[in-house]
Structure 1
Amino acid sequence: MRKLKLILFLAVILGTISFIVVSPSKGGNAAEDWNYLFNGKNLEGWVVKVHHHELGDNYANTFRVSDGNIQINYDDYEVFDERFAHLFYNESFSSYHLKFEYRFTEQWLEDAPVYTYRNSGVMFHSQAPKTILKDQNWPISVEYQILADEGNGVPRPTGNMCSPGTEVIYNNEIDPRHCITSSSKTYKWNQWVSGELVVYGDSLVTHLVNGEEVLQYSKPQIGGGVADGFDPAIKIDGKLLKEGYIGLQSEGQGIEFREIKIKKLDYSIRH
């Protein structure tokens, strides 16, 4: 009997230790640690940068709030004219879990590059918006690329990685591709899809789609091409990206975002 009691006592102690090690609150995972970046009412806390325009110029009301969603809308455009744009949250983040939901709209400007059709993205570990030059097309950043079905029966995964002015380690080496395709399914353009990013500073990055892990890579760093018109002093190739800004992308395709929230994580738990 005493032996049984001892076993039960040890089981309780070990269970408590296990809880302490993996307790969600230790990793910043408690429900109360989630903070909404978008208040559902207006763009307070966000700043716009449009290619060919000064920081803060929300050309033609590209980014707006409609029915409680952030909407990228081209109603007031006559032509796209390479007005690649980004809506940045005004705080830099390092290690965090980001969640958001998105769906495409029917809008697409035909003078936009053909690859932008049902294509958008969420930039992260981006350079500070105030350092993006007027005629810089894309921020030096990493992108959670968002794609949807084009209606031709060809698989088109979402939650991919693209790298304007950056590079990542994939399969134990720097991957030369601008975009790395995820393992996600193809989703209809007009359905709400849940995207997630789990980022540990300059260490590990994980992409999730509708709760399923679809891509993982490490050591995001400055390098590579694609981004143009930047300040050369900002692009220090090989510099690891430990933190940066989060931005919603506009490339000529209409899209809506909602439920944008973030939870800061403890980088030390990853090491």
Structure 2
Amino acid sequence: MMKTHTYIQKRYAIMVVLLTGLAFTSCTTATDNWEPLFDGETLNGWKRVGGEAPYAIEDGAIVGTMTSGTPNSFLVTEKEYGDFILELEVKLEGEATNSGIQTRSHLDEAANDGRGRVYGRQVEIDPGTRAWTGGIYDEARRGWLYPLDLNEEAKAAYKKEEYNHIRIEAIGNETKTWINGIPTAYVVDTLDATGFIGLQVHSIGDEALAGKKVYFKNIRIQTENLKQQDFPLGIYVVNLTPNSLTAYEQQSGYQLLFDGHSNAGWVGAYKDAFPAKGWEIKDGIISVLPADGGESTNGGDIVTTEQYGAFDFSFEFKLTEGGNSGVKYFVTLDEHNTGSAIGLEYQVLDDERHPDAKMGKDGNRTLASLYDLIVAQKTNRSLRKIGEWNKGRIVVQPDNIVTHYLNGEKVLQYERGSDAYKKLVSDSKYKNWDNFGQAAQGHLLLQDHGDRVSFRNLKIKSL
């Protein structure tokens, strides 16, 4: 059901060639405000924490060796940093190994039986088939913030078994990364204005990896007169500041669909106004209020006043125990049906506690699935506990390729209107609706299923 978006790849390939040349010109131009973080001969200014993996110096590089029986080990700066630009080169042995670079991070000194546990944002080094090098992970705290499924073209930037040039800009509440000159990840966060920088030797569960090494060299930093490198428009941003858009997101074409304090842009499905009951807007959150767990029996669904065709729509949602809701798209309201309005649905559900998860076929009614049609291929790392915020995303390309994401990971993809799609519809609860889900455009919908479910950070870009 997948096909290659050749026009996107060609455009991106041209952009990458141009950017790579610009990036490396920038990196090789001498400036007065670069400071070395490693003198090439000693580990002065650094200390090991968290684990027992050894760090040594070989041929002007810091070399960490993977070691059995120890948790993640880090060589961290004794000094803390706020705003900075960091550049270094990293080489990792093997394809089943892993490493990372900590930024503005901290140490829980009591953890790991007194050995300490590092936590904070990490720039990933990942030579495996997943290829998430340059993505951003929150070590020992929130998990993945920017899996590289959000910027798939950048997965090819990393060179296995070679030194890779890495650039990290941490300025204000923004972190951006580049791998070998290729723009990779962009996170806007609300935590950690300062902290140390660290070099990771990952723990290992496979004895065959013992002795594998990770090399770090040419480590330098700027902390004054920072000049940001251009980041091309159109790369997805994970913005963790509630109900806000950066200037970059606005320039890329994104708009907020919820301003955090009003129902502007939304009305009840099959209604002329926003529901008088059943929904609550408070503290920057829009919530379905609990009723009897029935479908559209209280305030009813709400829909956008605008309609959309090809689009990139992101949203955050928080479930209560046993909660059920959904985000629907291509809702035309032409059916004039009772209950929830008809449309393609990104399922929002407590899979463990709600019976709907066991209905349908092969799990196609579980969280992030295309409801009653295609099951979401979720991993444990993409799941958040009930009561925590989750990030959903639906992308509909102009060629009708549709992708669902959950917490940054791609969990399903299909082609709207294809023969395979029509076959799925013919075997589903939607089989009696003509041309189900194939309208040229439609409303977006937040579902009232009688359970308390909350939403925020609703943003959309027309494609």
TM-score range, shorter chain: 0.5 to 0.7
Larger radius of gyration: 2
Query: Does the CA-based 8 Å contact 1:118-1:150 persist in structure 2?
Result: no
Counting only pairs closer than 5 Å after superposition, residues 158-237 of structure 1 correspond to structure 2 as: 158-162=367-371, 178-184=372-378, 185=380, 186-201=383-398, 203-220=400-417, 224=426, 226=429, 235-237=433-435
Query: Does the CA-based 8 Å contact 2:343-2:436 persist in structure 1?
Result: no
* 2:307 equivalent to 1:92: yes
Structure 1 gap ranges (5+):
1-11, 107-116, 163-177, 266-271
Work out which structure has the larger RCO, using CA pairs closer than 8 Å and 6 or more positions apart in sequence: 1
> Which residue of the partner structure matches residue 212 of structure 2?
none
* 2:285 equivalent to 1:69: yes
Correspondent of 1:31 among 249, 252, 259: 249
* 2:345 equivalent to 1:143: yes
- Between Structure 1 and Structure 2, how many residues are aligned? 212
150 and 26 in structure 1: CA distance in 2 versus 1, 3 angstrom threshold: closer
The amino acid across from 2:448 in the alignment is: S
Deviation digits for residues 33-91 of structure 1, max 9, x if unmatched?
A: 11000011111110112xxxx624666611221211111013xx5x5665353110111
36 and 242 in structure 1: CA distance in 2 versus 1, 3 angstrom threshold: same
28 and 71 in structure 1: CA distance in 2 versus 1, 3 angstrom threshold: closer
The amino acid across from 1:34 in the alignment is: Y
> Which residue of the partner structure matches residue 251 of structure 1?
449
57 and 15 in structure 1: CA distance in 2 versus 1, 3 angstrom threshold: closer
> Which residue of the partner structure matches residue 18 of structure 2?
16
2:283, 2:296 → 1: CA distance? 25
Q: TM-score, normalised by structure 1?
A: 0.65
* 2:325 equivalent to 1:120: yes
The amino acid across from 2:318 in the alignment is: R
1:15, 1:258 → 2: CA distance? 37
Deviation digits for residues 148-198 of structure 1, max 9, x if unmatched?
A: 25369x998521101xxxxxxxxxxxxxxx232101244322110000011
2:391, 2:18 → 1: CA distance? 33
Structure 2 gap ranges (5+):
1-13, 22-153, 155-230, 238-247
Query: Does the CA-based 8 Å contact 1:119-1:148 persist in structure 2?
Result: yes
252 and 238 in structure 1: CA distance in 2 versus 1, 3 angstrom threshold: closer
Q: TM-score, normalised by structure 2?
A: 0.40
Query: Does the CA-based 8 Å contact 2:296-2:340 persist in structure 1?
Result: no
1:13, 1:67 → 2: CA distance? 41
Q: Percent identity?
A: 26
